[in-house]
Amino acid sequence: MRENVVIIGGGIAGLEAAGQLASLGYNPILIEKEDHLGGHLADWHCLFPDMIPAKDVVSSLVGKASSINIFTRTEVLRINRLRDSYNVMLSNGVSVMTRAILLATGFRLFDAHKKEEYGYGIYNQVITNSDLEKWFNGNPDSRIDNSHISSAGFVHCVGSRDEKAGNPQCSKVCCITAIKQAIELKKKYPDMMVWCFYMDLRMFGKKYEDFYISAQRDYGIRFIRGRVSEVSENIEGKVVVKAEDTLAGRPVKVTLDLLVLMSGMLCNPQTLNEKATWHFPIDSDGFLKCRNTVADFNLSPQEGIFLAGACTGPKTVPETIAEARSAALSIHNWFNSKE
Ligand SMILES: Cc1cc2nc3c(=O)[nH]c(=O)nc-3n(C[C@H](O)[C@H](O)[C@H](O)COP(=O)(O)OP(=O)(O)OC[C@H]3O[C@@H](n4cnc5c(N)ncnc54)[C@H](O)[C@@H]3O)c2cc1C
Ligand code: SF4
């Protein structure tokens, strides 16, 4: 009989690992709390830096996982350890015995309401990176006036690298996401003026630097190094942003039709810990803890528990998919070592 592997989280990490485990001869059982698969990618439009539609990535992974047992709208209620196995009880009444559990619970976005000074939920023209992706995907947003949008700004590091917001970590993907979203806006509205307000630009990935250069050279996007000090609304209903341009050494004031806050990536697994009455160790950065971050990043300190994707920290799509493949192989090797 094929060995069960319970996978918690049906984002791209969970889906990729499920497909790989099935082809290695296992019986993956995928548990997703939402009514759809794909995790955050189900809301994203095009992926940096090649602008591949996110929906194509999700549908390809869902297709590869088509023969797998998938429970959507399902949560883990309880996990019990029984000698060398786990008994996983689900909210749909199903109970699964497994020797291996893969956590692929991903991340949640920083709640931009908490940075009141940027006016999210106060001024109509202030949205988040996630809101903008949904709008690019064709979901109407009353805050974005299609007929009258000639200027936009992006605020980097919202709820990341911010001790006061409780998250000193860099969210890694939001610099390049801001550039991608700025380019997407410029493609839609070529005459638009677009500013990015940043502290540091973290262009760590393949082709990212080219993307950044292209944003300036081909799309005329302006980059201002400096923290936004004040956001307010003028009588015309536009948003006024004040910042200090630390490179030019002078204050900047711009009036915009749209301000996009680059909300950071935070850990999601805490909700799993609260609900499942089983404690998965959390690291100092708030994400799930792996055995070490060098070679054993797929292994939890707990025997038989494995990890993949953004549940251990901010990740790009290629990094997430690579980790999921690696987790499937780690699980396979671990089962072999038990024989
Ligand atoms: C605004 C934004 C834009 C981005 N754009 C890009 C891009 O263009 N290119 C790129 O490479 N990367 C991009 N990223 C990063 C990308 O979103 C992540 O790499 C990817 O979503 C990680 O996938 P994941 O499966 O690990 O997590 P997630 O996408 O978070 O999926 C986790 C899944 O687990 C489920 N889940 C969580 N807890 C439980 C539970 N207890 N029980 C059951 N199910 C549970 C969730 O509902 C979700 O479906 C972007 C990130 C942001 C914030
Ligand atoms: S990736 Fe960029 S915007 Fe995101 S937290 Fe790091 S420095 Fe800030």
Torsions phi, psi of 196, nearest 5?
Answer: -120, 125
Domain holding 86, by residue range, is 4-106+268-338
Closest atom of ligand 1 relative to the 36 alpha carbon: 49
Number of structural domains (the chain) is: 2
pLDDT in the model for residue 249:
95
185 and 83 share a domain?
Answer: no
Residue with CA nearest ligand 2 atom 6: 170
Statement to judge: residues 53 and 137 lie in one domain: no
Chain position carrying tokens 């630097």: 209
Give per-residue pLDDT as tens, 27-84. Answer: 999 999 999 999 999 999 999 999 999 999 999 999 999 999 999 999 999 999 998 9
Of all protein residues, the one whose alpha carbon is nearest to atom 27 of ligand 1 is 106
Residues 326 and 299 in one domain: yes
pLDDT digits (tens, 9 = 90+) for 288-322: 999 999 999 999 999 999 999 999 999 999 999 99
Give the atom of ligand 2 at the shortest distance from the alpha carbon of 199.
Answer: 7
Residues 318 and 186 occupy one common structural domain: no
d(CA 228, CA 156): 9
DSSP one-letter string for 55-85: HHHHHHHHHHTTTSEEESS--EEEEEEETTE
Give tens-digit pLDDT for 254-278.
999 999 999 999 987 666 777 767 8
Q: What is the per-residue pLDDT across 137-173, written as a single tens digit (0 to 9) for each?
A: 999 998 887 777 899 999 999 999 999 999 999 999 9
pLDDT tens column, 170-204: 999 999 999 999 999 999 999 999 999 999 999 99
**DSSP alpha helix (H) spans, 169-252:** 174-188, 208-217
Structure tokens at 233: 């609304």
Tell whether ligand 1 has an atom less than 6 A from the beta carbon of residue 128. Answer: no
Residue at a domain's end among 210, 228, 263: 263
Quick one: pLDDT at residue 278? 81
H helix and E strand count, the chain: 7, 20
Q: Which residues does residue 232 pair with via DSSP β-bridges, in sequence order? A: 240
Residue 171 makes CB contacts below 8 A (sequence gap 6+) with: 110, 157, 160, 262, 264, 265, 314
| One-character DSSP codes across 237-284 | S-EEEEEEETTTTEEEEEEESEEEEEEPEEE-HHHHHHHHSSPPPB-T
Average pLDDT, integer, range 318-338: 97
Q: Who's near 237: CB < 8 A, 6+ residues apart?
A: 124, 125
Please give the Cα distance from 31 to 72 (Å, whole number): 6
116 and 191 fall within a common domain: yes
Same domain, 73 and 191: no
Both 238 and 286 in one domain: the answer is no
Same domain, 236 and 297: no
Residues 166 and 234 in one domain: yes
Last residue within a domain, chosen from 219, 241, 263 = 263
> Do 64 and 44 fall within a single domain?
yes
Distance 3 CA to ligand 2 centre (A): 41
CATH of the domain at 122: 3.50.50.60
Q: Are residues 52 and 184 in the same domain?
A: no
- Residues 190 and 249 grouped into a single domain: yes
The domain boundary residue, chosen from 263, 287, 303: 263
Among the ranges given (7-16, 112-121, 277-286), the one the predictor scored with the smallest mean pLDDT:
277-286
Mean pLDDT of 311-339: 97
